[in-house]
Amino acid sequence: MPSRPHITVDDLRIGYGTRVLMEHTTFQVERGTIFAILGGSGCGKSSLLRHLIGLERQQAGRIDIDGVGEPSQYEGVPPFGVLFQSGALFSSLTLAENLWLPLNRWTPMRGATAHELVQAKLDLVGLGAFAEYLPGEISGGMKKRAGVARALVLEADLLFFDEPSAGLDPISAVELDQLIITLSRDLGITVVIVTHELPSIFLVADNCIVLDKAAKGIVAQGDPRKLRDESEIPFVHAFFTRSSYDVTANPGG
């Protein structure tokens, strides 16, 4: 029997007051896959992510994570980890201390056991030798990987990444992409990424949705490589090929 989708979004509408940002949005994220949320500026990518992790409530529709229900309804240890765009590390704490924070908040784990888990997660992202470094003492790419380690420390099998490659040099971006692939392929972790970086999309994503501001929702979904090569929707073709697109001639795709 096929496994239950890790995330189900059904007829979602999100907005602020009378302003509707997105409506009739329906998609699923299969377990153990890398799923990308794509689209141009202002289309609602980051807003959708905030709703998926429970920071904001939708105006209508349903979000279900792992068959349990709305993310805001969870009690206890969060069922997912989040890598924010900036990494969001506490600058006055070492990398190890940044990872200890969620353990102290959500688990009874202390002492040697906590130390071993923190060290294991830093080792996993290639930062085992930097546990006692402050965020200001490491590179941007290393900060992102430290953020990944912190997202992993509660052993969640679902991760959300907000523009993980933003601000990184090409080599650091590829290293982070390879880490994301390892997490999914080797550890079976489901990864949801908000990004606009085409090289990363084509390298890591198994599936995606493409959002369009004019359409107020999804205009295409599927394998990004197939959408690039086969989509007949002008907006989608322009997005994946970085070609020009006359929005006035065909608004919303």
Q: For each of the chain's 253 residues, which pLDDT tens digit applies?
A: 457 899 999 999 999 888 999 999 999 999 999 999 999 888 889 999 999 998 899 999 999 998 777 766 666 778 899 998 777 899 999 999 999 999 988 888 889 999 999 999 999 999 999 999 999 999 989 999 999 999 999 999 999 999 888 888 889 899 999 999 999 999 999 999 998 888 899 999 999 999 999 999 999 999 999 999 999 999 999 999 987 555 444 545 4
pTM over 0.85: yes
Backbone angles phi, psi at 7, to 5 degrees: -130, 135
Q: How far is CA 59 from the centre of its chain?
A: 22
CA distance 216 to 218: 7
Sign of CA pseudo-dihedral 221, 197, 63, 24: negative
